[in-house]
């Protein structure tokens, strides 16, 4: 069994479909860090101060921006629950810079995988990074610069398709070797459209995590 943790609420049929493409015969269980919480409880979490806001999708289709430090212990608790349920590996479905999680099985995080792959394929390490919200751009820039990249930032929510054109214009820079779509909510169709509009190759957190997880879990 493969465990998935989303930083919002279940269900996430887009995540389920992305992983099932590469693991068609593996049982997948997805838990949300905010599952079971009321709107008031979630709003209280969103009101807590922090420096790295993450864009979460709730079961009713609404979104909240909640700081990484607030979500991290909730994500870890769900990872441990999934490992206890028999997961052979757990994938954290968020590209933020989460701390390591020790739950007895491999824990895969796109926030670690994306810089590793980008560094392997980028000669100049001059990249574009698209965050889901404007408030995340500066902390994301700092994270990617710590990882050794020269970064041009933009933002486009995967849940607001009208923002894709503006972000693609920002990234239509021939000096950028590639663009990172730095949110698990961006899907493969979004990536293809973004690359067409910007003229730059794009790395997608969602499919990268699914492919690497399939190598770990197999089947």
- Domains of the chain and CATH, by start: 2-109+207-217 (3.40.50), 112-204 (3.40.50.1860)
Give the strands of the sheet with 28-32, arranged side by side. 28-32, 2-6, 89-93, 107-108
Task: Please report, in tens digits, the pLDDT of each residue of the chain (219 residues total).
Answer: 999 999 999 999 999 999 999 999 999 999 999 999 999 999 999 999 999 999 999 999 999 999 999 999 999 999 999 999 999 999 999 999 999 999 999 999 999 999 999 999 999 999 999 999 999 999 999 999 999 999 999 999 999 888 999 999 999 999 999 999 999 999 999 999 999 999 999 999 999 999 999 999 986
Provide the pLDDT for residue 31.
98
Q: What is the DSSP letter of 50?
A: -
CB-CB contact of 132 with 183 (8 Å):
yes
Instruction: Find how far residue 150's CA is from the centre of its chain.
Output: 20
The pTM (predicted TM-score) of the whole model is 0.95
Q: Is 218 buried (19+), middle (13-18) or exposed (0-12) by CB count in 10 A? A: exposed
Distance separating alpha carbons of residues 105 and 39, to the nearest angstrom? 32
């Amino acid at each position: 069994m493969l465990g998935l943790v989303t930083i919002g609420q279940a269900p996430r049929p887009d995540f389920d479909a992305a992983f099932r493409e590469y693991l068609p015969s593996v049982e997948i269980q997805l838990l949300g860090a905010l599952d079971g919480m009321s709107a008031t409880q979630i709003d209280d979490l969103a009101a807590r101060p922090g420096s790295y806001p993450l864009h979460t999708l709730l079961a009713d289709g609404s979104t909240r921006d909640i700081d990484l430090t607030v979500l991290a212990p909730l994500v870890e608790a769900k990872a441990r629950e999934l490992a206890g349920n028999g997961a052979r590996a757990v994938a954290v479905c968020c590209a933020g810079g989460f701390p390591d999680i020790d739950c007895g099985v491999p824990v895969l995080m796109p926030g670690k995988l994306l810089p590793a792959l980008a560094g392997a394929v980028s000669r100049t390490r001059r990249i574009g990074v698209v965050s889901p919200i404007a408030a995340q751009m500066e902390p994301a820039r700092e994270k990617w610069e710590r990882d050794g990249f020269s970064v041009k930032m933009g933002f486009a929510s995967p849940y607001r398709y009208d923002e894709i054109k503006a972000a693609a214009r920002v990234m239509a820079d021939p000096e950028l070797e590639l663009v990172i779509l730095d949110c698990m909510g961006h899907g493969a169709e979004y990536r293809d459209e973004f690359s067409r509009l910007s003229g730059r190759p794009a790395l997608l957190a969602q499919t990268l995590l699914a492919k690497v997880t399939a190598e770990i879990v197999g089947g």
